[in-house]
Amino acid sequence: MTIIFWDLPSTVGPWSPNTWKVSRYCLNLKKIPYKTEWVEMPDVAAHCQKLGISPTTNKSDWNIIHALPAIHDLSTGIYLSDSVRIAEYLETQYPDGPQIFPRNTIGLQIDFEDCLNAKLASLWEFVVPPIWHILNPTSQVYYRTTREKAWGKTLEDITPSGDDRAGQWKKVEAGFSGMAVWYSKKSGGGPFMMGSQVSWVDFVVGGHLMWFNKAWRDDDPKWKAIMLWNSGMWTTLL
């Protein structure tokens, strides 16, 4: 039982929140052996098309129809993309051991991801530009072209400045405080949304935190601030 897992490379290792959710969390939770193979961003579409992997999204503004993560399960022959579809497949195909979606909570947990993205919408302006610096040259060109097309401005102009920057960062802090309220509603002990039982929700949050960390690194004031917010609760989800 081995899974081939395709991920996006960088100079600092895995960085995508979507691939973190599947590989570093779901596969490790299930203790499923896997081998990582790296695909540069401009090569993803051709790679997936060659293997017959279905498109992940069709957002014309981003000009992306294929995206990672993607897997090939050597035990079943299945090729699959999209982090949620992969998680559902792993849960069904490998039911033994810890569950990714405990107690039939899959619908609620997937909806949570949309809520999280809404809560943290102000943060993307601080994360998207610096990711460019950690990519390999081949992916840098692709990343700049697609992100500048989506935002309608250069990478250098995406991050706000002056009073606007301070206002946007306050919105970021408010977003994390909102998520902290969600976590405070759980019953029982433990740092996760379902108490002591880790699940997809925590992988989504953890994947985003790893994305932020790769963009800024440990010594960045923004990263240090987030790690101190809400009594330091976010450190437990890394």
**Is-contact 142 41, C-beta < 8 A?**
yes
Q: What is the pLDDT of residue 23?
A: 80
Please list the pLDDT of the chain residue by residue as tens digits (238 residues). 799 999 999 999 999 999 999 988 999 999 999 999 999 999 999 999 999 998 886 555 555 688 999 999 999 999 999 999 999 999 999 999 899 999 889 999 999 888 999 999 999 999 999 999 999 999 999 999 999 999 999 999 999 999 999 999 999 999 999 999 999 998 778 999 999 999 999 999 999 999 999 999 999 999 999 999 999 999 988 8
- What is residue 136's predicted lDDT score, i.e. its pLDDT? 98
| pLDDT for res 64 | 60
CB 131 within 8 A of CB 7: no
DSSP string, 218-229: TT-HHHHHHHHH
Q: What is the pLDDT of residue 29?
A: 96
Q: What pLDDT, on a 0 to 100 scale, did the predictor assign at position 55? A: 86
Residues in the chain: 238
Three-state SS letters, 42-97: HHHHHHHHHHCCCCCCCECCCCECCCCCEEEECCCCCEEECHHHHHHHHHHHCCCC
Q: Which of 82, 94, 112 is nearest to 33 (CA)?
A: 94
Cα(179)–Cα(205) distance, integer angstroms: 9
Residue 61, pLDDT score: 53
Task: Please name the residues in contact with 25: beta carbons below 8 A apart, sequence gap of 6 or more.
Answer: 202, 203, 206, 207
Strands of 3-7's sheet in order across: 34-38, 3-7, 70-73, 79-81
The confidence score (pLDDT) of residue 58 equals: 54
Question: What does the pLDDT read at residue 42?
Answer: 97
**Res 215: pLDDT:** 98
Residue 168 CB partners (closer than 8 Å, separation 6+): 122, 125, 126, 160
pLDDT of the residue at 209: 97
**What integer pLDDT is reported at residue 187 of this predicted model?**
74
Question: What per-residue confidence (pLDDT) applies to 186?
Answer: 83
Domains with residue ranges and CATH for the chain: 3-101 (3.40.30.10), 111-237 (1.20.1050.10)
Residue linked to tokens 């935002």: 151
